[in-house]
Amino acid sequence: MQRKRMRNVWDEWHWDLWDPATEPLPKEPKTYRKISFCTACMNRLHDLMVTLPVNVHHNRDYPNVEFVVVNYNSQDKLDEWMKDYMMPYIEAGLLVYVHTTEPEFFMASHSRNISFKVATGDIVNNIDADNFSGRGFAKTLNLLAEMRPEKAVFTRAKRLTHGRLGFYKKEWLELGGYDEDLMGYGSDDLNLFYRAMATGCKLMKWGYWDPRFCERIFTPFEDKDRYMEHKNWKHTEIVNKEITFDNLDRKQFVANQGRQWGKAKLVKNFKEVIYV
């Protein structure tokens, strides 16, 4: 039933897809937009200590990039690792590290809303803790943005985002961010993606030409909902898809209306208390 509803969504909206065969990627940009790569992490230090240094290294050639890491009340010495190994990047302004001690459980939508709110980039792009960005990912996103300077979604494909989803921050805010009505694991990226496409955004797919942009650490199924309140990830994924399709049917494309979303008290870079 959900597969049919998904097909109906695409058939109804006739969403706009970039085709590199007819619109080739430019070789050089006219401007270097600031790009923020955002990662929210609860007890995933074992992944982040592998992916984050590599991702920073692979995008150092882009002159206007930042990495935002949200410690979502991790209990695995993430603070200590950041102080021991990543302080040079923090001091250089390349990495922004924020820590909240408020959440009891991991909430994908809320944690990503925090990371995107903290980010200062023109483009905000989620990268899960177990994902490698791939060499030159920031440069590629900027070239895609050169062709589509507004109303764009940057991701791998229309059904599989692979934990990487990007927007112009202004447009992401107008959409109300990630939907915090969603529960547990599953479909948080697709929910936001579908809402954006329904409002006239164009899908700028970076997955066409370089498989390095899709590399990740394998995550066992039992880890998907380990730190979430609702433990049956297959069930929550079904529920979240129903919420998504129901909202699309009602043409309710802006999430979190009538409430403060992405709310948190944070300690930024170990010294500054901020509120989002």
Identify the pLDDT of residue 160. Answer: 66
pTM score, two decimals?
0.94
Tokens 């992944």 -> residue: 47
Identify the pLDDT of residue 13. Answer: 63
When pLDDT is cut at 50, 70 and 90, the band that residue 15 belongs to is confident
Q: What angle do CA 1, 172, 246 make, to 5 degrees?
A: 25
Q: Could you say which DSSP state residue 55 is in?
A: H
Is 92 strand, coil or helix? coil
Examine the pLDDT at 111 and tell me if it is beyond 90: yes
Q: For residue 74, which of 50, 49, 51, 105 has the smallest C-alpha distance?
A: 105
Q: What angle do CA 88, 129, 71 make, to 5 degrees?
A: 65
pLDDT, tens digit (0-9, with 9 covering 90-100), for 234-274 = 888 889 999 999 999 999 999 999 999 999 999 999 999 99
Structure tokens at 17: 């897809």
Angle between helices 188-198 and 233-249 (to 10 degrees): 10
* Domain of residue 242, residue span: 2-275
- CATH code of the domain covering residue 219: 3.90.550.10
pLDDT, tens digit (0-9, with 9 covering 90-100), for 23-78 = 999 999 999 999 999 999 999 999 999 999 999 999 999 999 999 999 999 999 99
H or E segment to which residue 24 belongs: none
Identify the pLDDT of residue 129. Answer: 95
* Alpha helices, H only, 14-131: 45-58, 78-81, 87-91, 108-118
- Which residues, at least 6 apart from 21, have a Cβ–Cβ distance to it below 8 Å? none
**Per the structure, how many domains does the chain have?**
1
Identify the pLDDT of residue 49. Answer: 97
When pLDDT is cut at 50, 70 and 90, the band that residue 11 belongs to is low
pLDDT, tens digit (0-9, with 9 covering 90-100), for 198-215 = 999 999 998 765 777 888
